[in-house]
Chains A and B, each alone.
Chain A
Amino acid sequence: MKNKKIFTNILVAILLITGAACEDFLKEMPISDITTDSYVTTETGYEDLVKACYPLLRDMIRSWDVTLNGTDIFTNGNFNNPITQDGNAFQMYDMRLNSNMAQLISFWDILYRNIGRANTAIRRANNVTYTNPALKAARVGEVKFLRALSYFYLVQTWGDVPMPLTETITSETGSVRVPQAQIYAQILKDLTEAEADLPVTATNYGRVTKGAAQFLLAKVYLTRGWNFQNALGGSPADFNAALSWADKVIAAYPLVSQYRNLFPQHNKNPLTQFTGAQNAKNSEVIFAIQFSNQVILNGHETGGEPGNHYHSIFGGDVGTIPGNLGRTNDYNRQQERTLTAPATYRLFDPQKDSRYQHNFVKALYALQAANNVSYSFTDPTLRVSFARGDTVILFRPWNDPAPLAEKGIDVGGTKKYSVINVDEYGAPPTSRFNGRTPLMWKFWQPGILYGDGWGTFDFALFRSAEAYLLAAEAIVKGATGGALGGADVYYNRVLDRAVGAGVDPMCARFPENVQSLEAVSYRATPANINIDLILDESARELMGEFNRWFDLKRTGKLIERTKRMNPWTSKPQAGLAEHHMVRPIPQHEIDRSQPAISQNPNY
Chain B
Amino acid sequence: MKKKLTRQFLMLSKYVFLGVCLQAIVASMLLAADGLAQQAKLQDIKLSVTFEEEKLEKVFQKLETLSGLNFAYHKSQVRKIENVSGNFLNTSLESILMYLSGETDLKFKRIDGNIFVSLKEVLESPVVEEVQQAGTVTGKVTASDSPDGLPGVNVVIKGTSQGTVTDLNGNYRLDIPAGDVILVFSSVGFLTEEVRVAGRSIINIQISADITALEEIVVIGYGEVRKSDLTGAVGSVGAEAIVRGNPVQAARALQGQVSGVNVNRINSRPGADFTIDIRGLQSIGFSNEPLVVIDGVMGGNLNVLNPSDIESMDVLKDASATAIYGARGANGVIIVTTKKGKEGRTKVTYDGYTGAKVPNHLPDMMNAQQFFRAYNDVVRAENPNANPIWTSTELANVEAGRSVDWVDQITSPGTQMNHVVAVSGGNEHTTLYFSAGYLSEDGNLPDTGFKRYNLKGSVDSKLSNLVKVGFNTIYTYSTLNLGSNESLRNGFRARPTGSIFFRDVVDPAQSADRDVDGYAYWMGINDNQVQNPILEARRDAMQDETKVSSFLGNAYVELTPFKGFSLRSALSTSVFSSRAGRFRNADSKARLNRLPDALVNNDLNASYTLDNIANYKLSSNRHELNITAVQSAFLERFENYSIDVDNLPYNSGWYAVNTAPVIRGVSSRLIERSILSYMGRINYIYNDKYLFTLTGRYDGSSVLAEGNKWAFFPSAAVAWRMGDETFIKDLNVFSDLKMRLSYGIVGNDVVPPYSTQANMRQTAYNWDNAPAFGYAPNNIGNSLLKWENSEEVNLGINMGFLQNRIMVDVELYNKVTNDLIQNVALPTSFGFSGVTANVGKLLNRGIEVSLNTVNVQRNDFRWSTNINFSSNHNEILELYGGTVERDIANSLFVGHSLRSHYFYEFDGIWQMDQAEEALKFGQVPGSVRVVDQNGDGLISSAIDRDDRIILGNELPSWIGGMTNTFNYKNWDLSFFIYTRRGVMFRNAMLQGTFGDLGSPRYNRLNLNYWTQENPTNDYYGVWQPNPHRQAIQYKNADFIRLQFITLGYNLPVTLLDRLKISNARFYVQADNPYFWVKERNIWMDPEFNSGTFRDDVPFTTILLGLSLGF
The interface of chain A, by Cβ under 8 A from chain B, is 3-4, 6-7, 10, 13-14, 17-18, 21, 23, 25-37, 39-40, 45, 47-55, 82-83, 85-86, 95-96, 98-100, 108-109, 112-113, 115-117, 119-120, 161-162, 164, 167-173, 175, 204-207, 281, 290-299, 301, 306, 319-320, 322, 324-328, 370, 372-374, 377, 380, 428-429, 432, 449-451, 586-594, 596-599, 603
Residues of B within 8 Å of A586, CB to CB, are: 828
Nearest 5 A/B pairs, CB to CB = A116-B831, A51-B774, A52-B774, A52-B776, A204-B767
Please state if A589 and B528 are interface contacts (CB–CB under 8 Å): no
| Cα–Cα distance between A290 and B1025 once the two chains are bound (Å) | 41
Say how far A16's CB is from chain B's closest CB, in angstroms. Answer: 11
Interface assignment of B160: CB less than 8 Å from any CB of chain A:
no
Task: Find out whether the CB atom of B701 lies under 8 angstroms from the CB atom of A51.
Answer: no
Evaluate contact between B827 and A28: CB separation under 8 angstroms. Answer: no
Q: Does B766 contact A (CB under 8 A)?
A: yes
> A317 to chain B: closest CB distance in Å?
10
List chain B residues, Cβ under 8 A from A167.
777
B726 CB within 8 Å of chain A: no
B247 to chain A minimum Cβ distance, whole angstroms, is 37
A571 to B750, CA, bound (A): 54
Residue among A3, A13, A603 with max Cβ neighbours from chain B (10 Å): A3
Kindly state the separation between the CA atoms of A295 and B758 in the bound complex, as whole angstroms.
28
Question: Does the CB pair B780–A36 fall under 8 Å?
Answer: no
Contact of A596 among B467, B674, B825, B943 (CB under 8 A): B943
Say whether, besides A28-B754, A450-B593, A591-B889, A326 and B759 are in contact (CB < 8 Å): no
User: Does B887 lie at the interface of the complex (its beta carbon under 8 Å from any beta carbon of A)?
Assistant: yes
Interface string of B559-577 (1 = CB under 8 A from A): 1010000000100000000
Smallest CB separation, A296 vs chain B (Å): 6
CB of B760 within 8 A of CB of A14, answer no
A52-B774, A281-B768 given. 11 additional CB < 8 A pairs? A4-B466, A28-B753, A34-B775, A48-B773, A49-B776, A51-B775, A82-B382, A117-B831, A164-B831, A170-B782, A374-B392
Q: Point out the residues of chain A lying under 8 angstroms from B773, CB to CB.
A: 48, 51
Q: Is B159 an interface residue (CB 8 A)?
A: no
Please report the C-alpha to C-alpha distance between residue A586 and residue B833 in the assembled complex, in whole angstroms.
Answer: 13
Nearest residue (CB) in B for A203 is B767
A112 x B379 contact (CB < 8 A): no
- Minimum CB–CB distance from B880 to chain A (whole Å) comes to 7
- Asked if B830 contacts A206 (CB within 8 A), the reply is no
- In the bound complex, residues from chain A placing their C-beta under 8 Å from that of B776 are 49, 52-53, 117
A201 to B942, CA, bound (A): 49
A535 and B835 alpha carbons, distance in the complex (Å): 45
CA gap between A372 and B379 in the complex, in Å: 29
Q: Is the CB of B769 within 8 A of A172?
A: no
* A205 cross-chain contacts in B, Cβ below 8 A: 767-768
Q: Are A82 and B759 in contact (CB under 8 A)?
A: no
Task: Please name the residue on chain B nearest to A37 by beta carbon.
Answer: B758
**In the complex, which residues 768-786 of chain B have their Cβ closer than 8 Å to any Cβ of chain A?**
768-777, 780-782
Given contacts A164-B830, A171-B826, A380-B392, contact A428 B386 (CB under 8 A): yes
Residue B883 interfacial (CB < 8 Å): yes
Within 8 Å CB of A168, what residues of B?
Answer: 780, 830-832
Given contacts A204-B770, A588-B825, contact A32 B830 (CB under 8 A): no
Binary per-residue interface labels of chain B (739-765) against chain A in the complex, 1 for a CB within 8 Å, 0 otherwise? 000000000000001101111100111
- Bound complex: CA A487 to CA B888 (Å): 52
Contact at A52–B775, with CB atoms within 8 Å?
yes
Point out the residues of chain B lying under 8 angstroms from A592, CB to CB: 825-828, 887, 889-890
**Contact indicator A599/B758 (Cβ below 8 Å):** no
B941 touching A587, Cβ below 8 Å: yes
- B120-174 contacts to A, CB under 8 A, are none
> B775: which A residues are within 8 A, CB to CB?
34, 39-40, 45, 48-49, 51-52
A48 engages B774 (CB within 8 Å)? yes
A320, B769: Cβ atoms closer than 8 Å: no
B884 close to A (CB within 8 Å) = yes
Distance (whole angstroms) from the CB of B902 to the closest CB of chain A: 10
- Nearest-CB distance from B840 to chain A (Å)? 13
**Once the chains bind, are B826 and A172 in contact (CB under 8 Å)?**
yes
Q: How far is the CA of A298 from the CA of B467 in the complex (A)?
A: 64
**Once the chains are docked, how many angstroms separate the CA of A240 from the CA of B766?**
36
Which of A32, A49, A119, A450 is within 8 Å of B592, CB to CB?
A450
Within 8 Å by CB of B702, from A27, A117, A597, lies A27
B983 close to A (CB within 8 Å): no
Q: Are A96 and B942 in contact (CB under 8 A)?
A: no
B851 shortest CB reach to chain A, Å: 45
Residues of A within 8 A of B765 (CB): 51, 54-55, 206, 290, 297
Residues of B within 8 A of A429 (CB): 388
When the two chains form their complex, are residues A51 and B772 in contact, meaning their CB atoms are under 8 A apart?
yes
CB of B512 closer than 8 Å to a CB of A? yes
B763 contacts A301, C-beta separation under 8 Å: yes
Name the B residues within 8 Å of A10 (CB-CB): 557, 559, 569
Q: Do A594 and B880 contact each other (CB < 8 Å), given the known contacts A7-B466, A35-B759?
A: yes
20 A-B pairs in the complex with CB atoms less than 8 angstroms apart? A7-B559, A26-B702, A28-B756, A28-B757, A32-B671, A36-B781, A37-B781, A51-B763, A55-B764, A116-B831, A120-B777, A205-B767, A296-B666, A297-B772, A298-B764, A319-B528, A449-B646, A450-B594, A592-B826, A592-B887
A113 touches B569 (CB 8 A): no
Interface size on B, residues (CB 8 A): 100
Residue from B463, B612, B941 having most chain A Cβ neighbours under 10 A: B941
Would B510 and A25 count as touching, CB distance under 8 A? no
Q: In the bound complex, do residue A432 and residue B510 qualify as a contact, i.e. CB atoms below 8 Å apart? A: yes
Taking CB as reference atom, which chain B residue is nearest A15? B612
The reply on B91 being an interface residue by CB < 8 A is no
B836: shortest Cβ distance to chain A, in Å? 9
Q: How far is the CB of B954 from chain A (nearest CB, A)?
A: 20
Of A48, A82, A324, most buried by chain B (CB within 10 Å of CB) is A48
* Residues of B close to A589: CB separation below 8 A: 827-829
The chain B residue with its CB closest to the CB of A292 is B766
Residues of A within 8 A of B664 (CB): 295-296, 306
User: In angstroms, how far is the closest chain A Cβ from the Cβ of B1026?
Assistant: 10
Closest to A207 in B: B767
* Chain B positions 879-923 with a Cβ under 8 Å from a chain A Cβ: 880, 883-884, 887-890, 922
How far apart sit A475 and B186, CA to CA, in the bound complex (Å)? 108
Residues of B within 8 A of A326 (CB): 512, 528, 592-593
**Residues of B contacting A327 with CB < 8 Å?**
528, 592-593
Q: Does B837 contact A (CB under 8 A)?
A: yes
In the assembled complex, which residues on chain A have CB atoms less than 8 Å from the CB atom of B922?
A: 95
Closest residue to B594 on the A side, CB-wise? A450
Residues of A within 8 A of B663 (CB): 295-296
Q: Is B668 an interface residue (CB 8 A)?
A: yes
Residues of A close to B828: CB separation below 8 A: 108-109, 112-113, 586, 588-589, 592
Residue of A nearest to B383 (CB): A83
Instruction: Determine whether B103 belongs to the interface, using a CB cutoff of 8 Å to chain A.
Output: no
CB distance from B894 to the nearest CB of A (A): 13
Distance of A411 from chain B, by nearest CB (Å)? 15
List B contacts of A31 (CB < 8 A).
Answer: 670
Contact string, B564-598, partner A, CB cutoff 8 A, digits 1/0?
00000100000000000000000000001110000
Contact A7/B831 with A28-B702, A28-B754 known, Cβ cut-off 8 Å: no
- Which residue on A lies nearest to B883, using beta carbons? A594
Contact indicator B777/A162 (Cβ below 8 Å)? no
Q: Are A380 and B528 in contact (CB under 8 A)?
A: no
CA distance A112 to B831 in the complex (A): 5
- In the complex the two chains form, is B528's CB within 8 Å of A320's CB? yes
Q: How far is the CB of B664 from chain A (nearest CB, A)?
A: 6
Complex Cα distance A525/B313, Å?
Answer: 89
B941 contacts which chain A residues (CB < 8 A)? 98-100, 587
- Given the complex, which residues of B lie within 8 Å of A593, measured CB to CB? 827
The answer to whether A50 touches B774, judged by C-beta atoms less than 8 angstroms apart, is: yes
CB distance from B397 to the nearest CB of A (A): 15
Partner of A52, one of B754, B763, B830: B763
Q: Among the listed B594, B674, B835, which residue makes an inter-chain contact with A26, where contact means beta carbons less than 8 Å apart?
A: B674
